[in-house]
Amino acid sequence: MVGERNRPSAQRGRRASIRPDVEQMNRATKRLYLHRRLDEVESQIQTSLFRYLNSLFSAGPHWLSRRQELWEDVMDLHYLEASRRAILQSLADLNMPAFSAHRPPDSTDADDD
C-alpha cells in the first residue's frame, strides 16, 4: 500500500492513535466524546492515585530515596486533575444555550471596595 508508506511509522495500522477532530463534531457527538474521555481520565486518576499511595507506603522510612518517582506520580495526578477540570468545563459550556456562551464575571471577579 502506497498510503501506508507515507504515514509515520507510529500511525501505521493504528486507528486508536488517531484523535477525532472535536471542533468538527456536532453538540451531541461532542458531549458523548467528552463523557467518554471523562470516564477514561477518571479511571487514569484512580490508577495513578493507587500507584502513588502504593509507592509512598511501600517506601516506608526510605521514601526520600524514591522522591523522584513520587514526584512524577504527583505530577501525573496534577495533569489528570487539570484534564478532568477542562473536560467538565467543556461539558458545562456545551450545556449552555448558544447566546449565553460568554458568561458574565462571577462576584469573585469584582472588587468589593
Q: Give me 107's grid cell.
A: 462576584
- How high is the pLDDT of residue 57? 79
Instruction: From 85, 49, 84, select the one nearest 70 (Cα to Cα).
Output: 49
Low-confidence ranges of the chain (pLDDT < 50): 1-15, 101-102, 113
pLDDT at 20: 76
- Within the chain, residue ranges assigned H as helices are 2-6, 27-59, 67-95
pLDDT of the residue at 18: 66
Question: What pLDDT is recorded for position 3?
Answer: 44
- The pLDDT value recorded for residue 2 is 42
Q: Residue 16 is placed in which grid cell? A: 486508536
Euclidean distance between CA atoms 82 and 36, whole angstroms: 16
List all residues 6 or more positions away from 113 whose beta carbon is below 8 Å from its beta carbon. none
Q: What pLDDT, on the 0 to 100 scale, is given for residue 51?
A: 86
